[in-house]
Amino acid sequence: MADHNPGGDPTPRTLLRRVLDTADPRTPRRPRSARAGAQRALLETASSRRLSGQTKTIAKGRSRGARSIGRSAHVQARGHLEEQTPRTLLKNILLTAPESSILMPESVVKPVPAPQVVQPSRRESSRGSLELQLPELEPSTTLAPGLLAPGRRKQRLRLSMFQQGVDQGLPLSQEPQGNADASSLTSSLNLTFATPLQPQSVQRPGLARRPPARRAVDVGAFLRDLRDTSLAPPNIVLEDTQPFSQPTVGSPNVYHSLPCTPHTGAEDAEQAAGRRTQSSGPGLQNNSPGKPAQFLAGEAEEVDAFALGFLSTSSGVSGEDEVEPLHNGVEEAEKKMKEGVSVSEMEATGAQGPSRAEEPEGHTQVTEAEGSQGTAEAEGPGASSGDEDASSRAASPELASSTPESHQARRHHQFPEPAPPPGAAVLSSEPAEPLLVRCPPRPRTTGPRPRQDPHKAGLSHYVKLFSFFAKMPMERKALEMVEKCLDKYFQHLCDDLEVFAAHAGRKTVKPEDLELLMRRQGLVTDQVSLHVLVERHLPLEYRQLLIPCAYSGNSVFPAQ
C-alpha cells in the first residue's frame, strides 16, 4: 500500500504517508479513500505550486510524482481522513502543538484532501499559474468542507512549505511569506523530521526556534574542575589509594587522604562555634554551609583547620588562628603545619583512637569518619594520617590564597581515604620538606612496624572495628591483645578447616567443612541450620549463591 518512491528521497510527506498507511487497516471505512486520495494529492500539489514561484516546475515534477504516489498511498488513508477521526485528532494536536515541535505531521495529511481536489482541475489548466489554483481549490473545499475550511490555508501553506523544503533540500525552513495569518498557525505546524536546527528562518523571526545560547567555554574553570574532581574522588572509603596523586604543577594538590576525619570534624565544630567576628569570618563560614567550592581552597582550610584542631586541643587556640593563615598567607600556615605535625606525631599511635573519639564530640560526621576509618585504614594506626596531614598541609599554604570556600562534605569524603603505610618516622621527615610533598605517592618506609605486618594487615581492620564498637577509649595494649587473639582464632579456624577437609579425604575445603566447624562452634544446631543463619545474616547476593533456589525454566542455582 505504501508504494512510495523507495529509491527516491524520503520526503516528509512520503514518510507521513507511510505512517498513515500503516494506520489504515484500523479504519473501517476504506472505500471512500479513492476519491479523497486523489483530491488530497491535487490539493497538495496545488498548494505547493501556488506558493513557490520559482520552483514551480520542480514542484510540478515533484508534485506529480508525489501526487501519483500520494494517490495510491492515500487511497486508503483518505478513508480515515474523511472520517475525521485520526485526522481531526492530528489536526487538533497540531493546532495545540508548541511552535517548536519536531514532528511533521498532518500538515501532510490535512492538506491532502484539499490539494487533491485541485489536481485534476489543474491538470486540465495550465499548471504554472497561481491564479488558476484558486478556482481549483474551491471545488476541493466543497468536497471536504469540514476539513478544508478551517485549515485550508494552513494546509496549503504547509504543503507549499514542504514542497519548498523538499525542492530545496531543506525541511520546512521557509514559511510562505505571503500568509501572515497562516504563518502563526503554520509555524506551529511547521514540524520537520529533520533536526530542529534548520527551521530558524530569518523570515519568521518570531517563530523560529532560538538556537541554544552557547557560552564560551571557560578553559580555566574547566581545568580547575578537572583538577578538583580528580583530586577529590568522592567516595574513597574503601579504596586503597595513595594519598598523593600526581601532580600537575599548577595544581596544588593537597591530597588529603587524611584519616583524621575526626580532627577535621572537631575543627569544623570549632570553626563553626568559635568564629570570631573577623573579616575572614564570613569567608570561613562558607565552610559550614559547605558550598561546593574549589577543592583546593577547601583543602587549605581543612588543613588549617586540622592544624588548628591540634593546636586548639593542645593550647586552646582560638578561632583567630583559623583566619590568619587564610589571610596572612603561607607562613602561618606552615608554622601551624609544623606544629600540627609535631602534635600528630605524638598522636600517631594507638592513642589516636581515643583522641579521635574525644575530639569530635557532637559532630555527626565523626562516627562516619571512624567507621570509614575502620574500613579504610588498612594498616596500622593513624601515623599514616599524620603523614598525610603534614604533606597536605605542606601544599595547603599555597592554597591559602585561594578563595576560602570549601565543601564540607568533600572534606569529610577525603578523610576516609585510606592511609598509606606510614610510619611515625615519616612524620618527622615531613616538616623538613613541606613543599616537596606534592610529589606523587612516595613509598613510605614502614619504620617501627611489627614484623608480621603482611599477615596482620588484615587484622588491623578488625581491631579497628573492635575499638569502634567498644565505644570506649582503648589502650594500645588492649588493642594488641585483641589483635593477637584474632590472629590465633583465625589460625585455629583455618587449621580446623584443613583438618576437616583431610578427614573427609579431600584436599579442598568445602561448605560441608564450614558447616561442621559451625556446628562445633555451636552456631549451627539441630534447631538452627546453616541455611537459617545464612538467611538471617547474609545479604541477598550471597544468600542466592549459597542456598539453592529454583529459577525460571526449572533451573536450580546453585546446582546441587
Partner 1 sequence: MEEEAETEEQQRFSYQQRLKAAIHYTVGCLCEEVALDKEMQFSKQTIAAISELTFRQCENFAKDLEMFARHAKRTTINTEDVKLLARRSNSLLKYITDKSEEIAQINLERKAQKKKKSEDGGKNSREPAEAGVVESEN
Q: What is the dihedral of CA 372, 373, 378, 382, to 10 degrees?
A: 170
DSSP 433-475: SSGGGGSS-PPPP--S--TTHHHHHHHHHHHHHHHHHH-S---
Residue 515 beta carbon to partner 1: minimum distance, rounded to whole angstroms: 9
How far is the C-alpha of 287 from the C-alpha of 291, rounded, in Å? 7
Residue 503 beta carbon to partner 1: minimum distance, rounded to whole angstroms: 6
DSSP 220-271: HHHHHHHHHHHH--S--TT----S-----TTS-------S-HHHHHHHHHHH
Q: Please say which residue, 291 or 519, places its beta carbon nearer to partner 1.
A: 519
Cell numbers of 211, please?
A: 538556537
CA 188 to chain centre: 34
Q: Please say which residue, 244 or 500, places its beta carbon nearer to partner 1.
A: 500
Q: Please say which residue, 480 or 496, places its beta carbon nearer to partner 1.
A: 496
Q: Please say which residue, 222 or 489, places its beta carbon nearer to partner 1.
A: 489
Q: Please say which residue, 399 or 516, places its beta carbon nearer to partner 1.
A: 516
Residue 446 beta carbon to partner 1: minimum distance, rounded to whole angstroms: 35
C-alpha closest to that of 24 among 72, 62, 95: 72
Contact of 136 with 224, CB cutoff 8 Å: no
Contact of 423 with 444, CB cutoff 8 Å: yes
Residue 499 beta carbon to partner 1: minimum distance, rounded to whole angstroms: 6
Q: Please say which residue, 276 or 503, places its beta carbon nearer to partner 1.
A: 503
Q: Please say which residue, 99 or 515, places its beta carbon nearer to partner 1.
A: 515
Q: Please say which residue, 239 or 512, places its beta carbon nearer to partner 1.
A: 512
Q: Please say which residue, 484 or 510, places its beta carbon nearer to partner 1.
A: 510
Residue 496 beta carbon to partner 1: minimum distance, rounded to whole angstroms: 8
Residue 484 beta carbon to partner 1: minimum distance, rounded to whole angstroms: 19
Q: Please say which residue, 28 or 505, places its beta carbon nearer to partner 1.
A: 505
The single-letter code of the amino acid at 7 is G
DSSP 5-43: -SSS---HHHHHHHHHHHHGGG-S--TTHHHHHHHHHHH
Measured CA to CA in angstroms, residue 525 lies from 115, 499, 515, 532, 535 at distances of 88, 21, 10, 10, 15
Residue 545 beta carbon to partner 1: minimum distance, rounded to whole angstroms: 22
Contact of 195 with 211, CB cutoff 8 Å: no
C-alpha closest to that of 48 among 102, 99, 122, 101: 122
Residue 519 beta carbon to partner 1: minimum distance, rounded to whole angstroms: 6
The burial of 261, by beta-carbon neighbours within 10 Å (0-12 exposed, 13-18 middle, 19 or more buried), is given as: buried
Interacting residues toward partner 1 by CB under 8 A: 499-500, 503-505, 512-513, 516, 519-520
Q: What is the dihedral of CA 36, 38, 41, 45, to 10 degrees?
A: -120
C-alpha closest to that of 72 among 38, 26, 99: 38
Q: What share of the chain is helix, strand, coil (3-state, %, to 5)?
A: 65, 0, 35
